[in-house]
Structure 1
Amino acid sequence: MKVQTLEELYRAKFHLIFRYLLKVGCSREDAEDIIQNTFYKAIENMIHLEVENPSAWLFKVATHNYYDLCRKQKRHPQVKVHDEFLENFLAHADEGERFVINQENKAEIHAVINQLKPSQANLLLLKYEMDLSYEQIGNLLNMKIDTVRVTLYRARNQFKKKWSGKSNERL
């Protein structure tokens, strides 16, 4: 594995982590603070930091900092769904799913995603909103590619299950 300096990691991962934090509902200022604190912790612990995947470590610390901030503010993290999410999600969907999920259901999709476990919502966000590959998600979360595929498959199925329950409520 290539050894990266903290400066190289910062350049490579700042925008990715920043975009992710904004997509999960973090304000611009809070996202900047979280990233600053994350890299401060990395510098502070650099001597003792022996991690195989520093990118995943940074992502995990930033995510935990965001969840801590939400807890302090007594609010639940809310994933923001944008048009890119819908386009990418639909691009990977079956024909039957295309019929069910469309542009008119944006608010309902947002509500269903926020009913999922945070780990499932985050995976869907990374894949369909940020358009990351399985390999990129695996590197970011320090997961094997097969694990990413299986977990993402389960997250999609959970979404479909909750979506169908919501569809039955409307009838």
Structure 2
Amino acid sequence: MTVQTLEELYESKFHLIYGYLLKIGCTREDAEDIVQNTFYKAISNMIHLETENPSAWLFKVAINNYYDLCRKQKRHPKVEVKDGFIENLFASVEDGEQVIINKENRAEIQEIVEQLKPVQANMLLLKYEMDLSYEQIANLLNIKVDTVRMTLYRARNQFKKKWSESRERR
């Protein structure tokens, strides 16, 4: 990886990684520090960084740094659900038209998303909050597009199941 390539990666991936960290509950200051530390690691490991997909490596390092920070601070990462996420998610969920989503439901939706497996919650955020395509998610995480599709399918079904259970308890 050359300095120019690293510079291009920084310009193209800084905002994506930073934005994702904010969406999973990282403070602005911590997100900036994590992204800077991630790129510092990339520079210092440049000789040893033999990967086909450096953006996936950067993303994973940043996320792991955030989880390490949460463990050190003895807190749980908290997903922040916005209106766009809610609208996009329910547009893709069967019977979504029947569910009327409003601001009162945001806390309940956020609680349900937090109950999902971290990989499922992260995948839903990448797709419905950050509006990334299957291909972009696959490239970012260095996984197959079919894996993204399957994980999103399972995450949506799990969300729908938990949502229905939540509605039945009311």
Instruction: Please classify the TM superposition score into its range, dividing by the shorter chain length.
Output: over 0.9
The answer to whether the Cα contact below 8 Å between 2:93 and 2:156 also exists between their aligned partners in 1 is no
Aligned residue number for residue 106 of structure 1: 106
Structure 1 runs of 4+ off > 6 angstroms?
none
Name the CA shift for 1:101/1:69 in 2 (closer, same or farther; >3 Å): farther
Q: Structure 2-normalised TM-score?
A: 0.94
Aligned letter for 1:32?
E
2:63 is matched with which residue? Answer: 63
Do residues 133 (structure 1) and 138 (structure 2) align?
A: no
- Whole-Å separation in 1 of the counterparts to 2:82 and 2:156: 17
Letter in 2 for 1:135: E
TM-score by length of 1: 0.93
Q: What are structure 2's unaligned runs of at least 5 residues? A: none
Inter-partner Cα distance in structure 1 for 2:64 and 2:45: 16
Quote the offset at 1:116 in angstroms. Answer: 0.7
Equivalence for 1:41: 41
Once residues 146 and 8 of structure 2 are traced to their aligned partners in structure 1, the CA distance between those partners, rounded to angstroms, is 28
The number of equivalent residue pairs is 166
CA RMSD of aligned residues (A): 1.2
Runs of 5+ in structure 1 lacking a partner?
none
Q: Deviations over 1:16-60 (max 9, x none)?
A: 000000000100000000001100110111101101110000000
Q: Is the deviation greater in 37-46 or in 85-94?
A: 85-94
> Is this contact kept in 2: 1:112–1:162, CA < 8 A?
yes
Q: CA deviation at 1:88?
A: 1.2
Give, in angstroms, the shift of residue 161 of structure 1. Answer: 1.4
Identity rate, percent: 73
For 1:115, give the aligned amino acid: Q
1:166 aligns with 2:166: yes
- Pair 1:168–1:108, CA change in 2 (3 A): same
| Match in the other structure for 1:116 | 116
Amino acid in structure 2 at the alignment position of 1:102: I
- Contact kept in structure 2, 1:90 and 1:101, CA below 8 Å: no
Q: Does 1:5 align with 2:8?
A: no
- Structure 1, 96-105 or 59-68: larger mean CA deviation: 96-105
